[in-house]
Amino acid sequence: MAHGWSTRLFEWREFVDRTARQSPARLAVTVFGAVIAVFTALLMAPFATESGRHAAFVDALFTATSAVCVTGLVVVPTGTYWSTYGQVVILVAIKVGGLGVMTLASILGLAVSRRIGLTQRILTASETKTQKLGEVGSLIRVVIITSTTLELTIALLLFPRFLVLEETIGEAAWHGLFYGISAFNNAGFVPTAEGLAPYTADWMLCLPIIIGVFVGSLGFPVILNIFSARKRGTRGWSLHTKLTLSVSVGLVVLATFLFAVFEWNNDETLGAHPWPVKLLAALFTGVMPRSGGFSTIDTGSMHESSWLITDALMFVGGGSASTAGGIKVTTLAVMLIAIVAEARGDRDMDAFGKRIPRDTLRLAIAVTFIGASAVLLSSVALLEITGWSLDVILFETISAFATVGLSTGVTGSLPEAGKYMLVALMFIGRIGTMTFAAALALRDRRRVIRRPEERPIIG
């Protein structure tokens, strides 16, 4: 019997290794889909809901996908529909999705065998955008130490605040831990029925969540680089780190300013609050489109101009190999640098004293085009399914694709076909562009004969 199990295990490992070598993207999609299926089954249990009845399959699938893809869109209220068991399942799904399925597999392999195999290193390098296979072990340690430390730090900061808000010790600890994990992983799930709306003016509650979302959206390669170069300071930062930090901070400042300008006198969002609360709410709202998904003001009551700004910010998203979605800030940075270089007539794309290869620009354009195409096709489909207005559909579509989780309040009203559409979009948004980018980056076809060059007219 033991021999039979060992033979099957060996055959399974051979199959996985062969699939990983031949098509790592296919393996990643398969494993990710399997993880979503497992959490869907767990949420289908009758004791996963407060009512004690089975959740509808589409609602369980939607919630599991949203949690594993660290999105935060919900079709049923997390704090009241799901039981404590159901919320624990959602929290574990968020943690698994945040770490990345392939990264988690390498962590388990390291714990069992005290080493990481070559195949696992390759898969994890693809998942985390690590350039050197030797860095994977260090990256995994940073991933688990940094994420857990920051999550617990946020939880410890929020714990006394929830106690002051007259929660019991158990409730305060649970809510602190839930918000800590959800914030760092940019998941946007809230365990309370009223969400964060009652705490718009609460600096002690909002700031830890803002910091957790921002750091989580930077990406583990950035965290690893900053940690390893702490003695040399910014001189030891890579170009990727500098681009990610500069564009991220710039987008947060710009978004905060624009939201403050557009919503300052809107009585349904910022207008009813004193100016210090308006600034906090504007900052909170400016950070969340990076992929955080939390909100302290009613997103559905914002002006359409604010929706459009949010659409753009969500589509860009956060850093590469982070818990955030979107096309990523470095993609935006490379295209902006290319535009500036073209305007100046420069042959090379330079940034922070480094030259960016032209194939990076081609990859950035491909990722952006694929993302825009996914949003366009999904928006057209949802317009036909729902009959809703374009501004609402575009907001929900980009939020799902960029795994943000912000909503105008219509997600729960989607017809069943619309829910399945957003499930597919969240799945594509989490691993689609990443897998596509990795596949393109690994392709480097050498040609002996090059065609004659001829320049078409542009513009």
DSSP secondary structure of 216-256: HTT-HHHHHHHHHTTTTGGGG--HHHHHHHHHHHHHHHHHH
Tell me the pLDDT tens digit for each residue of 134-165.
555 665 776 788 788 889 999 999 999 999 98
- Provide the 8-state DSSP code for 82: B
- Angstrom distances, CA of residue 433 to CA of 29, 183, 216, 430: 12, 23, 19, 7
Determine the pLDDT at residue 95: 92
Determine the pLDDT at residue 128: 61
- Angstrom distances, CA of residue 100 to CA of 29, 63, 64: 12, 18, 15
Determine the pLDDT at residue 11: 60
Rounded Cα distance between 36 and 28, Å, is 12
Mean pLDDT for the chain overall: 85
Q: At a CB cut-off of 8 Å and minimum separation 6, what does 353 contact?
A: none
Tell me the pLDDT tens digit for each residue of 257-312.
999 999 999 999 999 899 999 999 999 999 999 889 999 999 999 999 999 999 99
Q: Is the pLDDT of residue 200 over 60?
A: yes
Q: Is the pLDDT of residue 27 over 60?
A: yes
For the residues 230-234, what does the mean pLDDT come to? 82
Determine the pLDDT at residue 448: 63
* pTM for this predicted structure: 0.88
Return the H-helix or E-strand segment holding 286: helix 275-287
- Provide the 8-state DSSP code for 54: P
Angle, CA of 253, 402 and 250, to the nearest 5°: 15
The 10 Å Cβ neighbour count of residue 433 is 24
Helix/strand/coil for 292: coil
Of 21-30, 120-129, 249-258, 355-364, least confident by mean pLDDT is 120-129
For the residues 243-268, what does the mean pLDDT come to? 95
- Provide the 8-state DSSP code for 411: G
Q: At a CB cut-off of 8 Å and minimum separation 6, what does 17 contact?
A: 119
Determine the pLDDT at residue 170: 92
Q: At a CB cut-off of 8 Å and minimum separation 6, what does 179 contact?
A: 154, 155, 158, 190, 191, 209
Tell me the backbone φ, ψ of residue 279, rounded to 5 degrees: -65, -45
Q: Is the pLDDT of residue 104 over 50?
A: yes
Q: Is the pLDDT of residue 445 over 70?
A: no
Rounded Cα distance between 456 and 452, Å, is 13
Name the nearest CA neighbour of 434 among 401, 458, 404, 406. 401
Determine the pLDDT at residue 424: 92
Rounded Cα distance between 87 and 78, Å, is 7
| Residue 397 or 233, more confident | 397
| Cross-strand partners of 351 | 354
Tokens representing 4 are 């039979």
Question: Please, which pLDDT band fits residue 430 given cuts at 50, 70 and 90?
Answer: confident
Q: How far is CA 93 from the centre of its chain?
A: 13
Question: Please, which pLDDT band fits residue 132 given cuts at 50, 70 and 90?
Answer: low
With tokens 């009813």, the residue in question is 272
Question: Please, which pLDDT band fits residue 213 given cuts at 50, 70 and 90?
Answer: very high
Name the nearest CA neighbour of 120 among 100, 105, 101. 105
Question: Please, which pLDDT band fits residue 112 given cuts at 50, 70 and 90?
Answer: very low
Determine the pLDDT at residue 437: 55
The dihedral of CA 86, 87, 90, 95: what is its sign?
A: negative
With tokens 């096309």, the residue in question is 327
Question: Please, which pLDDT band fits residue 362 given cuts at 50, 70 and 90?
Answer: confident
Determine the pLDDT at residue 195: 87
Percent of the chain with pLDDT over 70: 80
Rounded Cα distance between 288 and 314, Å, is 9
For the residues 102-122, what does the mean pLDDT come to? 53
Cβ contact 331:362 at 8 Å: no
**Domain boundaries defined on the chain:** 7-442
Name the nearest CA neighbour of 73 among 404, 405, 393, 326. 405
The 10 Å Cβ neighbour count of residue 14 is 10
Question: Please, which pLDDT band fits residue 457 given cuts at 50, 70 and 90?
Answer: confident
Question: Please, which pLDDT band fits residue 192 given cuts at 50, 70 and 90?
Answer: confident
For the residues 192-212, what does the mean pLDDT come to? 91
User: Hey, what amino acid is at 310?
Assistant: T
Q: Is the pLDDT of residue 394 over 60?
A: yes
Cβ contact 224:138 at 8 Å: yes
Determine the pLDDT at residue 222: 86
For the residues 125-141, what does the mean pLDDT come to? 59
For the residues 422-446, what does the mean pLDDT come to? 70
For the residues 21-31, what does the mean pLDDT come to? 65
